[in-house]
Structure 1
Amino acid sequence: MTESSSAPRSGPPSTGQPPIADYGFVSDCHSAALIDRAGSVDWWCVPRFDSPSVFGRLLDQDAGHWLVRPCDEFEVEREYAGDTLVLHTVFRTAQGEVAISDALALDPDARSHDLGLRVPHMLIRRVEGVRGSVEMETEFAPRMEYGRSEPHFRADATGVVARGGPTRLTLRSPVTLRCEDGAARGCFVVSAGETVEFRLGYEPSFGEGRTGQGIEPTLEDTKAAWQSWADLHDGYDGLYREEVRRSSLVLQGLTYQPSGAVIAAATTSLPELMGGDLNFDYRYAWLRDLSLTIRSLWIAACPDEPARLFDWFTNAA
């Protein structure tokens, strides 16, 4: 599925709240992030779906975000890369065109039903030059504990470390970042054929870092992992085949893989009605939805997943 829109932009980030439908969804089956059309990660709770957010602008303008976008006015077109939860966004400006691929990384050996069993807790953002030369900007402004905690920033030769409360975020990139006013910011130019990659890793504040531990996850491995899962669930051939296939990927992305539970949504505290008080936390498995989820997975030709979900339910209950 491809979405297109015109997103004129100049000056500082807008204070308007994007419609919820403007957010793309990426997942590693432990946590999920939401990314708006303008290249801002406005929601990420890590290391689990129900953890406190480090990016929470979905709920509050001051609750944290991570922006990567062109400096000039742009138009946007986006889609998911094949049968994956890797979000592919194309920005077109008067000077050229760039593509950003966003994904929550999966382990190099994550394939088929092992997808998401172990994850590196890393958000990868790859910027690729398609045409011309485009000046880009990034603003990394995490806020731990649902926006309550502004982290301490420390820059080094390879990026920035942001530490707040129990959380440490390490952002690695070739872009020089300056830390000021509660954020790390930088500008860079991407020309046709060039690639700039940002890698944001989560760790607890205490303990040793993961630098040098094991094989680094890649965007290619993450795409291959999702595609391997999708290839095992290709039996549905009825109406709205593409929509059903995409829905099965979303349901898998909402699955907490260590247990098999499927959460109702990746978000919390969004009102069902504006001004109302039904602001539930949907980052849990709601038993009333269980039968619908099991049936949906079965129809989407994912027989192993509903069986695993039912096993989780019988054990949890």
Structure 2
Amino acid sequence: MPSHTSPTFLFASADPALIAAIEPQLVEGRARVQVVLTAEAALASIGSANPPSLALIDALLPGVPTGQLLAAARTHCDGPRLPILLIAETVTEEWIDFLAEGAADDLILRSAETAYWQLRLDLALRNQRMAHELETLRDVAIRNAQLDRLTGVYNRETLLAMLFRETDRVQRMNSSMTVVLFDIDDFGHWNSRLGVDACDELLCQVATRTGTLLRSYDLLGRPGMDEFLIALPACSPANAMALTERLRVEVFAVPVQVGGEAIRLSACFGTAASRGRSPVVVLREAEKALEWAKAAGPESIQCFGCQPQSTSQPVTFFSSTSGDELLAW
């Protein structure tokens, strides 16, 4: 976006007298001025990689009728809305219609005084900045509404909506998708021992580590307090199981540093294949697989539709840092 302190003004006019009268005023206002003499050159500038901050278009510009030029200027501009000021001899019904339809943002008469020109230019730029700031705030608000405030991954509502969208894609393309639901083992123990703030940091680190193992189009969300869900488009159940093994090793086997302590977490995993069915059904299956995994013991992985895996007996050991009695499988 052009700098607010040094805007670029496009001045489209073939009238030497008008250019001689107005260009010095624009330069005096510390603007960079690009003068073009035809409608084609004006459209090329507006559609360029570095479009102007504001366009002044002479209603007498040769090449294309003014209405067509204004309409084309709107379609050529891919970035933020470009303020367009129309320069005309008089105010006509046609120009009023252009303003009402949004084809132009303001109308300045050729006979206007210098101070009036500067006032209208400043107003147009101010309105543009305010519109851009409002658009940015709106985008941020929408983005924040989609995310879990603690971890920055998708929240439950957004994740479910995106799963419906991805399921439509699976149905159209007859492709695969698998979901992975995992839950941190004995998170209540860590909450009691470390406190809420430290456990919030644990969740953030789990989310960050998990995200580094995913592809750009995979979906990661937090549907529950210590529960995370991954949707893997174009991923078979076998490949999803391979990913859960990587998660178990690279996310949870490596201790997490919190409050000066090295915390070794573990998690249970449940997977389920979409096969183009309702996400509600698939999530229910993933929850059932996770239930099997929890019953099997910490760090277990279960796939819905597969026989629950056999488990080994746990081994008791003592933590070297806290002296707590812990179990490992």
Same fold (TM over 0.5): no
More strand by share: 1
Larger Rg: 2
* Structure with a larger share of its residues in helix: 2
TM-score w.r.t. length of structure 1: 0.22
